[in-house]
Structures are given as structure tokens and as C-alpha cells.
Amino acid sequence: MRPLDSIRSIKTKIGIVIVAAVGVTIAVVVLGVKAGFPLLVCGLTAGALALAMVQFLARGLTSPLRQMSAAATAMAAGDYQRRVETTSTDEVGELALAFNGMVAELAEVDRIRRDLIANVSHELRTPITALQATLENMVDGVVAPDPPALEIMLQQAQRLGGLVSQLLDLSRLESGVVPLQVQRFKARPFLEAVVREAVLPVAFKMSVEPEDLSIDADSDRLHQVVTNLVKNAARHSPHGQPVGLCASERNGEITIEVCDRGPGISKEESERVFERFYRSDEARASPDGGTGLGLAIARWVIDLHGGSIEILANSPSGCRMVVTLPTARPGAR
């Protein structure tokens, strides 16, 4: 029982505790003297009762602090499951709520760290194992160092290099040390360059409205985003189906859409695909399913531009990756 929990000010609570202790002391002394008890006995009794009163009333003041101390000790040992229980609405109660929020965030950071280590270890192990196996076969004479074997080794080395590069990009973006080099450029030549440099075995259906549409953005970073979206669309598109690539201006915003006729992405996965290392079951089953970092990097880049990226259904099948950017940004030239 915490009788002072309904009071919103800790100063008022302390005042009430002091007044209650003084009142009990005076009342006991006066009543004891009137009853004929010695003054010393009255004083000792009054002190004991006042102390008991202070302990009773102050429980709600100190209990959350003791819990926070115990939780902080547990956190230092790696336990992020402790929470502070408080029903008070004063400053200590607010501190307890803030403490619980901090512990929850630290627990989430710790989970992400563990997942990152596990995922990076897994992603690195696959190409390293393939390289090691091929090299051992060459050393043992099982496989000759011919072009096909060397091509396999080159692909695995490129996969390792791509993963390391993406991890570095993600680290820089999260720490905010990547300044945007915003400039104005034409949308159609930009999209044509993305398609040309991606070198994908699919046809593209491109549309730009208006024809002279310009974009204010960091062209290198946006190129990285659109390239990733285009490669994902090409990877999941049925054979013979073109990939749609559109840019338009509407409602004061620039919209870039990449559309495919693949299996699409469910609503349950529409947010998770932007998590680091998350891949759908189909992507996991595919040997070229990517690392699961591309869309996480894409969201960071678009967020830095003050835009948004979302996944919509593409009728009658497939999905639309929609990137929205502001029409003009300070510093564009």
C-alpha cells in the first residue's frame, strides 16, 4: 500500500511526511504527559511512532529507486528483462517510466546486435566455405584451375566484397556521417543509366512524366537505391515479363516506381523486408537471393532525403516499390 501515490509532486510528499512525523511526535508527547507518563518515555515512544509513520509513508518514494538500482546492476551483467514497478505519478514515477523505456531500447539494441553478429557470420561463412572448398579441390588435384572454377571463386569473392561494402554503407548511414551531395538532374537519363549499368536479362517498360522531369537528390545514393529495387524486381519477375520503371511528379512530390509481375510481398512482410538481413522464404531458397541489406540501406537513403519508400500491390500480381521524394531540396544546384 502506498498512500501518497496519488500526489503528483515529490516536494508535497516530503512535506506531508515531515508534517505527519512532527504531528505524531507532538500528539504522543502531549497525550503521554497528560496521562502521567515520564517525559523520557513519551519522547522515545513518540520517536518510534514517528519513525514508523515515516517508513510507511515513504515507501512509495524509495521503492522505485531501489528497483532501479537492482535493475541497473542486472543490466551491467547483461540482463535486460528487469523493469521498475511504480504506481506513483510524481517525479520519481516519471523517472521510473523513463528508466523502463531506456531498458526496453537497450534490450532491442542488444537483440539487434546479436542478430547482426549471427547474420553477418552466416553470410560470410557461405562464400568463405565455397572458396575454401574450391581451393582445397585445386590443391588436392581434384579440380583443375580452369576458367569455370576460377569463375566460381571470383563470384564468391565478389559476394564477400559486396557484403562488406553494404555493411560499411549501412554503418555510415546509421551514424549520420554520409553527407548528401544534392544536385538537380534529369529523370530519364538517370533511369536509363540505372538500367544500362545493371545489365539485367529482362526488358524494361519505362515512363517519365513530364518528359523533362528533374529530380533534386544525391544522384549516386539514389542510383544505389533504384539499382537495388530494379535488381530485386528482375530477380522475381516471371520469364518474359517486363519490369516497369516510372518517374512522375504529383502533388508536389517526385515518385519513382519499380513494378514487377512476380509473387508479390505479403502485408506481413511489407515492413519486415526493410529490416537488416531479413529475406523472404523465397529469397532464402534462391542462390542469388541477396544479403538482405539492400532495402535497409534504401530506406536509410530515402529517409535522409526527406522522402519515403513503401511497398504496394501491383494488379493483377506482383508488387510496386514506390519511392517518394520532395520536388525541391535546399542546396540543390
Q: Is 331 inside a domain boundary?
A: no
Would you place residue 254 in the very low, low, confident or very high pLDDT band (cuts 50, 70, 90)? very high
Quick check: 210 and 247 in contact, CB under 8 A?
no
Q: Check whether residue 266 and residue 212 sit in a common domain.
A: yes
Tens of pLDDT, residue by residue over 24-45, are 888 888 888 888 888 888 888 8
**271 compared with 216, residue with greater pLDDT:** 216
Q: What is the pTM of this model?
A: 0.62
**pLDDT (0 to 100) of residue 314:** 86
CA–centroid distance for 266 within its chain: 20
CA 35, 37, 39, 42 torsion-angle sign: negative
In a domain, 55, yes or no: yes
Q: Is residue 225 domain-shared with residue 208, that is, in the same domain? A: yes
Residues 211 and 302 in one domain: yes
3-state secondary structure labels for all residues of 260-272: CCCCCCCCCCCCH
Give the pLDDT confidence of 66-119 residue by residue, as tens digits. Answer: 888 888 888 888 888 888 877 677 777 778 888 888 888 888 878 877 877 777
Position 29 in a domain: yes
Q: 140-149, 188-197, 232-241: lowest mean pLDDT where?
A: 140-149
Residues 200 and 317 in one domain: yes
Please tell me whether the peptide bond between 316 and the residue prior to it is cis, using omega within 30 degrees of 0.
yes
Burial of 222 (0-12, 13-18, 19+ CB in 10 A): buried
Mean pLDDT of 266-283: 74
Name the nearest CA neighbour of 276 among 48, 116, 95.
116
Per the CB < 8 A criterion, the answer to whether 182 and 331 are in contact is yes
Q: Residue 214 pairs with which residues in a beta bridge?
A: 186
Mean pLDDT of 128-156: 84
CA–CA dist 233, 319 (Å, integer): 8
Number of folded domains in the chain? 3
Could you tell me which residues come within 8 angstroms of residue 285 by beta carbon, excluding any fewer than 6 positions away?
A: none
- Considering only 17-26, 37-46, 112-121, 234-243, which range has the smallest mean pLDDT? 112-121
Report the pLDDT averaged over residues 152-167: 81
Quick one: pLDDT at residue 216?
94
- Of 190 and 7, the one with more pLDDT: 190
pLDDT of residue 284: 40
Mean pLDDT along residues 48-64: 76
With respect to residue 322, please indicate whether it lies within any of the assigned structural domains. yes
Q: Do 207 and 230 belong to one domain? A: yes
* Per-residue model confidence (pLDDT) at position 283: 47
Structure confidence at residue 285 (pLDDT): 41
| 236 and 283 both lie in a single domain | yes
Last residue of a domain, one of 129, 152, 175: 175
- Whether residue 332 is contained in a domain is answered as no
Same domain for 228 and 267?
A: yes
pLDDT of residue 272: 84
**Mean pLDDT in residue range 304-323:** 91
Specify whether 208 is located in the same domain as 261: yes
Among 130, 154, 175, residue at a domain's last position: 175
What mean pLDDT do residues 257-279 have? 84
Classify residue 71 by burial, with Cβ atoms within 10 Å: 0-12, 13-18, 19+: buried
- Beta strands per DSSP E along 111-225: 182-186, 204-209, 214-218
Last-in-domain residue among 137, 153, 175:
175
Percentage of the chain modeled with pLDDT above 70: 89
Tell me the CATH number at 130. Answer: 1.10.287.130
Specify whether the CB–CB gap between 262 and 237 falls below 8 A. yes
Q: Residue 127's domain spans which residues? A: 116-175
Q: Within a domain: residue 1? A: no
Asked if 213 and 140 sit in the same domain, the reply is no
Q: Which residues pair with 182 in a beta bridge?
A: 218
